[in-house]
Each structure stands twice: as structure tokens, then as C-alpha cells.
Chain A
């Protein structure tokens, strides 16, 4: 379990994180989404105790990380670029992890080593980015982690490898009830992987809820009437946006979708149907409702 309380961090007087609160229950996967430079890595480094917060606390399984670094013997950490000693050989890194973590699982390591087939005699500086990521995942899964903190663990890897790694993470959750905190700027696969997600922007985590909830709350409806649309119906407060093309109105509605559908039905529309929305669209509307102009997040 990860619990973050009132976390605040400033870089050279620029606020980077502003009073972050979140909680990731045991055995669940939390996805942190946001553009590059939004503070994802900073938040993760604070959770890992690499950086010191200006204010606030981080708890892992109820233990304050910054006061008791020993708790990290149950925490695996994979960053998007592995900061390993360039002159170490792969076998040296393995030894460093094996001796550092008291819960090193030799059997799990042997299992995963079979999958990844890393050249143990090679130096870290001669490994490709993908190999480095695999080594990091191999090492951090072998420490019997109760919590995995993953900072863009699959960015820049080819789709086959990415899928393989995601599967390994999922298996970890299914097998050992591992808690995963994952950051990404890639929305694909997010819903498949995460129980809950949060979007980080301007130093705040904007919401923290399941995609399922979000998907059901925001819907797009297409409706067409023979004559003019009935007065007032399309001006309700739950309607975020109305677009008109000829007779067809495309409506984005937040909350009480079925109620609106039923109401529209009464006016005998020529066409009334619910249309799928992309995750990007959902995020944009969901946040637009909070008074943010967010289109730029996903159009990088």
C-alpha cells in the first residue's frame, strides 16, 4: 500500500508538486498520466525517498519512507533510464541487488533470467535501452517486492517487449498481490492495466478514480430531430458541449446520461444513439469541466 500525504516540492522556487494526496491500495495498479515535465518523475522520486519533500509524507505499508529507508527492501523501482554504474558488469548489478535486498528470491530470479537471457558478462554501458529496462525489471521483481514503483518502464521499447513486460507486471499483481504505481505518458493500454488513474498537471494530481467510472460518467450522444430541437433540453447543466452538423447534434454529457437519453426519447428524435469516445476525448472533457484547458496534454 502506498499513501502520499500533502506532498509539496519546489525546484529553485518553481513549485513542481503542490499538495499531492493519494492512496494506492494493496494489490492494485495506479496509473499516473501526464505530459513530459509535468512532475511525474519528481513525484516518483519523492515516493522512493530519492528526493526530499518540502512538505508532506509518504508511507509504504504504513511506514514513513523518508524516516525508515529500510522499508524499501520490499519496494522495487524501475525508472525510464536506469542509473546503473556504467562500468559494472551485469553480474555485478545482480550481486549488488542480491546482497542489498534481504528478501532476494533466487528461484524467481532464475525463472525470469530464463525469459530475458541477459549477457551476464557484459558491461552496463554496452547494453541497449531495452536490455537495461529488462535487467532493471528482472532485478526488481527478484527482490520479492510488495510494492513496485515504475517510472515509464516501457517507454521507447518495441510493442512485443512492452506487452511481455506488462504481462509480467500483471502476473506479479495476480500472484503476490503486489501494489503497482506506474507512470506513463502513453494512454494506450492504460485501461487494461490500471485499476485507477490520476492525471498530473501543473503540480496537481487532478483526479484519482477508475476509468470505468469516468467512462460511464462522460458520454457522447448523437441526436437528430425532424424540426427544431425542443427548447431547453440541450442547455442543461450536465451537458458539456453541443455541436451541430445539419440536423444532427453531437452532445457530450457528464452524469445522468440515461436520464437525458430518456428525456430526448420523449421528443421522438429521428436519431438517438450513444457514440464511443476515445480516452483522450474523455480526459479532455473530464478536465475541461474542471476549468482547465487540457487539449495540449495529449497533443504533444
Chain B
């Protein structure tokens, strides 16, 4: 499990992928929150599943070269959000009945991006109807692609 988690973090780090899931010290998001996102994302994608054991603070600290107190803080935050739970003497596990709630931050970001695109569409001279049509068309396209695969 440790390997998987470290893998995700490091891979994304190297690829410079989605900023939200990257441990990026240049980001304005504090590292502990970035780590919270990484773990939630891993659960969302099924890489971590309810009941899975998480690496200890010490292991993760050394693997990621991140201050153990920061890792501790992330775990506390995740515990507060009931994403993970600590069983005394056994370790930290993903909560059995964890249901990923809609991620508000992500939704906001999506809205923001969409808005920017709409502004651009406006300046390209697209009418309201054309824009809506375009969105419908793209959604259909995605749907057929998903069915094919």
C-alpha cells in the first residue's frame, strides 16, 4: 500500500500532473492539505479501498521526505473528516463506510474553469444557443467513447 501511495505522489510529481494532487512546495496550498487531497483521490480512484491500511507516519515521512508532523497533521485532518480511522496498536485504516462526499473545492475549481471558457466563447462571438449546443455535442461524444471502451 505504501508503495502505491508513494508511487502516486512521486509519479505525479515527476509528470507535473494535476496541481491539486501533486505535492508541490511552490503551490499556495499547504503541504498537509495537498496530502489530504492525494489520499482522498486515491480512495476515489479505488487505489485505496475501505479497510485498507495506510502507511505509518514514520514510513510516509521518510518515503516522501516530508516532516512527520506534517503527515501527522494530514492524518488528523482525514480522521476529522472521517475518511480514515486509527485503531490503537493496529494502525491507520480507510474507514469502512467511507462515502466520498462531493468535493467542494474541486467543484469550485471546475466552475471557475468553465466560467473562463464561457467568457472566451463570448469573445469569440458564440451565441448562447451555439455554446449550449456545443456542450451537448461534446457530452454525447464522451458518452459514445465511454460505451465503446
Q: Which residues of A contact B (CB under 8 A)?
A: 27-29, 163, 166-167, 170-171, 173-175, 188-195, 211-212, 215-216, 219, 270-271, 273-274, 276-279
Contacts and interface: CB of A to CB of B under 8 A. Distances in A.
Interface string B56-67: 011001101111
Nearest to A187: B25
Contacts of B148: none
Nearest to A190: B25
Interface string B31-59: 11000000000000000000000000110
Contact of A170 (B30, B62, B119): B62
B137 interface: no
Contacts of A190: 25
B119 A191 contact: no
Contact of B116 (A171, A174, A219, A271): A271
A171 B26 contact: no
8 contacts: A163-B65, A166-B65, A174-B68, A175-B58, A195-B70, A215-B30, A277-B26, A279-B25
B30 A27 contact: no
Given A170-B61, A276-B26, A195 B69 contact: yes
A193 B62 CA distance: 11
A224 B69 CA distance: 40
Contact of B67 (A173, A219, A274, A277): A173
Given A167-B62, A219-B28, A279-B26, A270 B119 contact: yes
Contacts of A191: 25, 31
Nearest to B64: A192
Given A189-B25, A216-B30, A173 B68 contact: yes
B99 interface: no
Give the 7 A-B residue pairs with the shortest CB-CB distance, closest first.
A174-B58, A174-B68, A212-B30, A167-B62, A191-B25, A192-B66, A170-B61
Given A174-B58, A175-B58, A274 B65 contact: no
Contacts of B61: 170-171, 173-174
Contacts of B57: 174
A20 B88 CA distance: 42
A192 B28 contact: no
Contacts of A271: 116, 119
Interface in B1-48: 19, 23, 25-32
B67 A193 contact: yes
A192 B58 contact: no
B28 A215 contact: yes
Contacts of B26: 276-279
A276 B16 CA distance: 15
Nearest to B69: A195
Given A175-B58, A270-B119, A271-B116, A170 B28 contact: no
Nearest to B71: A174
B121 to A, nearest CB: 13
A175 B26 CA distance: 28
A192 B69 contact: no
B25 to A, nearest CB: 5
A212 B58 contact: no
Contacts of B29: 215
A163 B70 CA distance: 17
Contacts of A188: 25
B69 A189 contact: no
Contacts of A166: 65
Contacts of A212: 30-32
A29 B29 CA distance: 20
A27 B58 CA distance: 13
Contacts of A174: 57-58, 61-62, 68
Contacts of B32: 212
A271 B69 CA distance: 37
Nearest to B26: A278
Given A173-B69, A212-B30, A276-B27, 18 more contacts: A27-B69, A167-B62, A167-B65, A170-B67, A170-B68, A171-B62, A192-B31, A192-B64, A192-B65, A195-B67, A195-B70, A211-B30, A212-B32, A276-B26, A276-B28, A277-B28, A279-B25, A279-B26
